[in-house]
Structures are given as C-alpha cells and as structure tokens.
Amino acid sequence: MIEWTGAIVQGVLLGGLYALFAAGLSLIFGVMRLVNIAHGDLIILAAYMGLTTTVMLGVHPFLALLIVMPLMAGLGYALQRGVLNQTLGDDILPPLLVTFGLSVIIQNALLEFYTADPRKLPGGAVETASLDLGGITVGVLPLLTFGIAVAVIAGLQFVFYRTSLGRGFRAVSDNQDIAQLMGLNKAHVFGLAMALALAVVAIAGILLGMRTSFDPAIGGGRLIFGFEAVIIGGLGNLWGTLAGGVILGVAQTLGAKIDPGYQILAGHIAFLIVLAVRPNGLFPRVEH
C-alpha cells in the first residue's frame, strides 16, 4: 500500500513539472489563440542555454535562471514581434505551420551546436537529497519543482487578475479591435505575453534538465505532456493546468508502478478518458 501511495506522491510532484510545461502554452493560447508547436523545443532550448551558462560561468543551474529567464523572455518578445504576429489572423493554420517550422529549426540548430548526445544539468546535492515523509521517501528536487510550479502559477494568476498588464492581456484576448481603441498596441501586448510564457519555459527547461537527461529530439514529447495537462485541466484556467499536470503525472507513475512500459501510455489513456468524458477539461474557465 505504501508503495502505491508513494507512486501517487511522486506523480503529484511530477505533475508540477508538467504544469510548468503547460502554463506557457495555456497563457499564449489564452491571450492570442496561438498554438505553439515549438513550445517543447523551446523548453529544450532553455535547458541547453542553462547548460551553457552553468558550464561557462561555473554556477548552479538555479543561478543560471537569472540569465536564461531574461534571455528567453527577450527571445519570446522578438519572436512574437518579428515572426509570429505576422501569422495571426482569422486562419489558425499559418501559426501552426510557422511554429512547426520553428520547431524543426530549433531541433536542428541544437543538434548542430550540441550534438545528439544526452546531456544533463549538474544540480549537485539537491539532485540526490531526499526527505522521509512518514515512510514515503520524497526527492527534494521534485518537491522543489512542485513548489516552484505552484508559485509560478500563483504569480501568473496574480499578473492576470491583479495588474494592469493582466488587464491588457484579458482585454486583448476578449476583443483585439476594442483593446486597440483603448490605446493597447496588440502587437506589443502579444510580445509581452510570449515573453512571459518563455520566461516560464526557461524555468521549466532548467528544472527538466536537472531532473533528467535531455537531447535535441525530446521537445516533441514535452509538448504533448504540456498539451495534455492543458486539455485535462481545461483551457484558460491556470490552476486547472496545475490539476491537469498532477492528473497526468499520477497516471504516469501509477502506470509505471504496474509495468515500467506503461508509464507514458497510462498518461495518454488518462488524457483520452478526460477528453471523452469532459471535452472542455475538468475545470474550464467560466465565462461571465
């Protein structure tokens, strides 16, 4: 019994990482109805940027965040203003195609610079440290990851509902033309939304890189996990995204408990069940 409880706890903590994958996706879809196929590759790009920073400066990956986050945010703003804004319109296909192309470009560029060898961020003692919670051993890093995920989502929630920037995001999401009449330049607002999303991607990438080894090809898988967490939780609901990540994580660890080969499959099955029973997700945003 304790083993199963342990698996559930591990799944919940893994869900925190998936929620971080999903938060950026959810944010940009919510603000500009853009489905970013390159999202997973951007997470891996952030992990590699973290690797370069830790190696070059000899700092801990958490400190590398101080450099990677602004870099990714800047990249997000430039990408949105320079490329993605041009693809947005009534047709949903152009942004899908362009971000798919971007995904291919990022993967190949990473392959060129870093080769296909699996790499890992050196987390030091935090990687192996663990706590004993009533007979269940919990890794400090997964616990930290979950705590960061909760903090990030609480922070995004605060930005969205308590700040002028968040009002701008919601207004542009509601009606782009009328928001423009209020003096909001939607191109700039979209750029800020992508910058914020990629700042979160930077956190997700660094935590992923400390938890597991990565190579340029694994972005697609992270994108799927992020998508699944968003859909399970319900589109446009950030706390729902955390719940979606947790459900996906628990399904995966329980699947792995039954048979290690079932880990990924169990997550997909949980996703399909939710999609079949509640197509809008478990906690869809309630429109006023």
Partner 1 sequence: MPEATLTLSNLDAHYGDFQALYGLDLELAAGEVVAVIGANGAGKTTLMRSISGLLRNRPDAVRYRGQPIGAMRADQVAALGIALVPEGRQLFPSLSVEENLMIGGKVGRAGPWDLGKVYELFPILEERKAQASTSLSGGQQQMVAIGRALMANPDLILFDEISLGLAPVVIRQIYQALPSIVGEGMTAMIVEQDIAQALAMSSRVFCLMEGRIALEGRTEDVTHDQITAAYFGVEA
Tokens of 92: 């949903």
Q: Do 214 and 56 form a contact (C-beta atoms < 8 A)?
A: no
CB of 161 to partner 1, least distance (A): 9
Could you say which of 52, 87, 157, 180 contacts partner 1 (CB under 8 A)? 180
Q: Tell me which residues in 185-214 interact with partner 1 (CB under 8 A).
A: 185-186
Position 91 contacts partner 1 (CB under 8 A): no
**Residue 173 touching partner 1 (CB under 8 A):** yes
Identify which of 110, 87, 145 has the alpha carbon closest to the alpha carbon of residue 40.
Answer: 110
- Residues 255/271, Cβ–Cβ less than 8 Å: no
Residue 71 or 184 with smaller CB distance to partner 1: 184
The binder of partner 1 chosen from 111, 182, 258, 273 (CB under 8 A): 182
In the complex, the smallest distance separating the C-beta of residue 278 from partner 1, rounded to whole angstroms, is 22
Pick the stretch among 71-79, 161-169, 190-198, 268-276 that binds partner 1 (CB under 8 A). 161-169
Please report how close the Cβ of residue 175 comes to partner 1 at its closest, in angstroms.
Answer: 6
In sequence order, what are the residues at sequence separation of 6 or more whose Cβ sits closer than 8 angstroms to the Cβ of residue 137?
Answer: 6, 130, 131
Q: What is the Cα–Cα distance from 66 to 50, expressed in whole angstroms?
A: 10
181 near partner 1 (CB under 8 A): yes
Closest separation in Å from C-beta 288 to partner 1: 3
Among 2, 177, 260, 279, binds partner 1 (CB under 8 A): 177
Find the binder of partner 1 among 174, 260, 277, 279 (CB under 8 A). Answer: 174
For residues 209 and 17, is the Cβ–Cβ distance under 8 A? no
Tokens of 106: 């990022």
Residue entry with tokens 């909760």: 150
CB of 27 to partner 1, least distance (A): 14
Q: How far is CA 2 from CA 8, 16, 87, 136, 199, in A?
A: 10, 22, 51, 7, 37
Size of the chain, expressed as the number of residues it contains = 288
Residue 90 in contact with partner 1, rule: CB under 8 A: no
Q: How far is the CB of 185 from partner 1 (least distance, A)?
A: 5
Q: Does residue number 171 form part of the binding site for partner 1 (CB under 8 A)?
A: yes
b (16+ CB within 10 A) / e for 60-86: ebbebbebbbebbbebbbebbbeebbe
# of chain residues touching partner 1 (CB under 8 A): 20
Q: Write out the residues near partner 1 by the rule CB under 8 A.
A: 164, 167-168, 170-171, 173-175, 177-186, 287-288
